[in-house]
């Protein structure tokens, strides 16, 4: 999907409420929390997930803050994302327990080539005063080596919002790597950093989000029949098609994905 690269600038500042380009060919598409499949009881009432969340949040009330899909597109020339945290600490003097948590669910079996998520365990403690505390931990030989678990499709990686992590490069040439991101937080917490307010639609750009193959492909066809490719094949493409294992933009029968039409 090379067209996507010049459709969107980098980072939340240049992105939209609906989609942010996180790095190179890595896009995060917001799915909202009030429609299927996130309203499905399998997610809302999942016992394993919710007993874990109950224990991590120490019995405090929590809610589903956000649902998105991070798609790292197949790109043999791509590079790793920068190490980063998704949010800061609430108290700059004292370490407080987790108030916000990511649940990353890969929608394909991960391999090294597809670029798993890499985390630095324990760094949610040091990110309160990053360089000073990381240096101290290094001197005391407390830093744990990074880990990048090769999860099977549908497994979950849970980590504190304050943990250092990054998406590794998807150097495969055909297989996009979608990861479903569910973010849970204590009820008082709002995230104002990871997506901007600016909306594609308010900017006069049309965006259609589909999470099924038929809707997405049909909308793409409608647009394609009307607009074509332009003078040169591939030049000025204004669409993104994401799907589990969708390779160069086409999902297999029955697969779910995200289709975004920028027109």
Residues that bind ligand AKG (CB under 6 A): 22, 26, 28, 70, 72, 117, 165, 167, 179
Nearer to ligand AKG, 219 or 258 (CB): 258
| Least distance CB 222 / ligand AKG (angstroms) | 30
Question: Closest distance between ligand AKG and the C-beta of residue 204, in Å?
Answer: 26
CB of 32 to ligand AKG, least distance (A): 18
Q: Within 10 Å of residue 108's Cβ, how many Cβ atoms?
A: 20
Task: Pick the closer one to ligand AKG by CB: 120 or 165.
Answer: 165
Identify the DSSP state of 98. Answer: -
C-beta of 162 vs 165, nearer to ligand AKG: 165
Both tokens of residue 84? 């980063």
Give 136-190 as a DSSP string. HHHHTT-PPPPB---PPTT--EEEETTS-EEEPP---SS--EEEEEEEEEETT--
Integer Cα distance of 54 and 60 in angstroms: 7
Compute the least distance from the CB of residue 57 to ligand AKG, in Å. 21
Residue (124 or 165) nearer to ligand AKG, CB = 165
Q: For the chain, what is the radius of gyration of the CA atoms? A: 19
145 forms beta bridges with: none
CB of 26 to ligand AKG, least distance (A): 6
3-class SS of residue 263:
coil
- What residue is closest to ligand AKG based on CB? 167
CB 8 within 8 A of CB 15: yes
Q: Prior bond to 34 cis, omega within 30?
A: no
Judged by beta carbon, residue 31 or residue 179, the one nearer ligand AKG is 179
Spatial CB neighbours of 192, under 8 Å, sequence gap ≥ 6: none
Counts for the chain of helices (H) and strands (E), in that order: 7, 10
CB 164 to ligand AKG: min, Å: 10
- Name the residue nearer to ligand AKG (CB basis): 43 or 163: 163
User: At its nearest, how many Å lie between ligand AKG and the CB of residue 206?
Assistant: 24
Give 80's Cβ-side CA count (13 Å radius): 12
């Amino acid at each position: 999907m090379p067209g996507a690269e010049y459709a969107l600038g980098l980072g939340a500042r240049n992105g939209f409420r609906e989609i942010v380009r996180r790095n190179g060919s890595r896009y995060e598409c917001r799915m909202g929390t009030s429609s299927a499949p996130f309203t499905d009881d399998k997610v809302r009432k999942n016992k394993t997930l919710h007993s874990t969340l109950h224990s991590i949040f120490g019995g405090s009330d929590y809610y589903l803050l956000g649902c998105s899909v991070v798609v790292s597109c197949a790109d043999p020339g791509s590079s790793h994302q920068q190490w980063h945290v998704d949010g800061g600490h609430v108290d700059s003097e004292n370490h407080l327990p987790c108030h916000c948590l990511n649940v990353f669910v890969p929608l394909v079996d991960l391999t090294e080539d597809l670029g798993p998520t890499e985390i630095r365990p324990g760094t949610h403690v040091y990110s309160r005063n990053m360089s000073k505390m990381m240096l101290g931990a290094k001197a005391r030989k407390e830093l744990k080596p990074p880990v990048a678990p090769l999860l099977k499709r549908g497994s979950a990686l849970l980590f504190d919002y304050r943990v250092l992590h990054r998406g590794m490069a998807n150097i495969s040439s055909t297989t996009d790597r979608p990861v479903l991101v569910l973010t849970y937080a204590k009820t008082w917490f709002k995230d104002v950093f990871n997506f901007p307010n600016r909306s594609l639609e308010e900017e006069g750009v049309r965006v259609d989000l589909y999470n099924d193959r038929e809707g997405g492909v049909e909308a793409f066809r409608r647009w394609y029949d009307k607009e074509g490719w332009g003078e040169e094949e591939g030049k000025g493409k204004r669409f993104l098609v994401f799907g589990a294992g969708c390779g160069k933009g086409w999902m297999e029968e029955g697969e779910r994905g995200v289709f975004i039409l920028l027109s």
